[in-house]
Amino acid sequence: MAGYIRELISIKKKAIDNFIRQAGYLLPGRYHIDSSLTMIYHENDPEGYMKARSFLHTSSINLLLRCLLMILKVLCFRHQIHVESSSDQDGNEQGFCGTVCIIGIAKSSGKVFDFNSGRVLTYYADADEFSSVLTNHAYYSRYFLQPSVLYFSSQELITVEEYIESKHARLWTEDEFSAVARDVLSRYTAYLSSKIGNQCSEKIWVYDLVRDKARKYKINKLILSQIKPELLQTAFPCTRLHGDLWPSNILLKADSGEIRYIDFEMSDSYIFFYDILWFLCAYAFIDNDFFLLGKYLSGEYDGYLDACFKACGMEFIPEYRLDYINIAFLCYSARVWSIEGICIRLRAYNRYRRFLKKINTYMLGSSHG
The residues spanned by each domain of the chain are: 2-163, 167-368
| Residue 33 predicted with pLDDT over 50 | yes
Sign of the four-CA dihedral 335, 269, 143, 102? positive
Read off the pLDDT of residues 118-169 as tens digits, 9 standing for 90 and up: 999 999 888 999 999 999 999 999 999 999 999 999 999 999 999 999 998 9
Domain 167-368: assigned CATH number? 3.90.1200
CA–CA–CA angle 85, 89, 93 (5° rounding):
170
CB under 8 A, 24+ apart: contacts of 123-131 = 123/18, 123/19, 123/21, 123/22, 123/156, 123/157, 123/158, 124/157, 124/158, 124/159, 125/14, 125/18, 126/157, 127/154, 127/157, 129/265, 130/154, 130/157, 130/158, 130/159
Enumerate residues 6+ apart whose C-beta is below 8 A from 265. 129, 132, 133, 136, 243, 244
What is the C-alpha separation between 251 and 235, in angstroms, rounded? 34
Helices (H), the chain: 2-20, 46-53, 63-76, 87-90, 127-140, 174-193, 218-225, 229-232, 274-287, 291-297, 302-311, 321-335, 342-368
- Dihedral of CA atoms 356, 288, 280, 173 in degrees, nearest 10, equals 160
Exposed/middle/buried for residue 335 (C-beta within 10 Å: 0-12, 13-18, 19+): middle
CA distance 233 to 207: 7
pLDDT at 1: 63
Distance between CA 199 and CA 219 in Å, rounded?
31
Q: Find out whether 332 and 273 touch, Cβ atoms under 8 Å.
A: no
Residue 118 falls in which region: left (phi positive, over 0), alpha (psi -120 to 50) or beta: left
Choose from 18-22, 83-87, 266-270 the range with maximum mean pLDDT.
266-270
- Least Cα distance to 124 among 104, 103, 110 occurs for 110
Among the ranges 67-71, 263-267, 299-303, which has the highest mean pLDDT value? 299-303
Find out whether 328 and 336 touch, Cβ atoms under 8 Å: no
139: CB partners within 8 A, 6+ apart: 196, 240, 267
Is there a contact between 112 and 49 (Cβ–Cβ < 8 Å)? no
For residue 91, what pLDDT is reported?
Answer: 46
Mean model confidence pLDDT for the chain? 89
Q: What's the chain's length in residues?
A: 369
pTM of the model: 0.89
Nearest in space to 209 (alpha carbons), one of 179, 182, 236, 175: 236
Q: 215 and 221 in contact (C-beta within 8 Å)?
A: yes
pLDDT for 59-77, tens place per residue?
555 666 677 777 777 777 7
* Whole-number pLDDT of residue 202: 85
212 or 331, which is more confident: 331
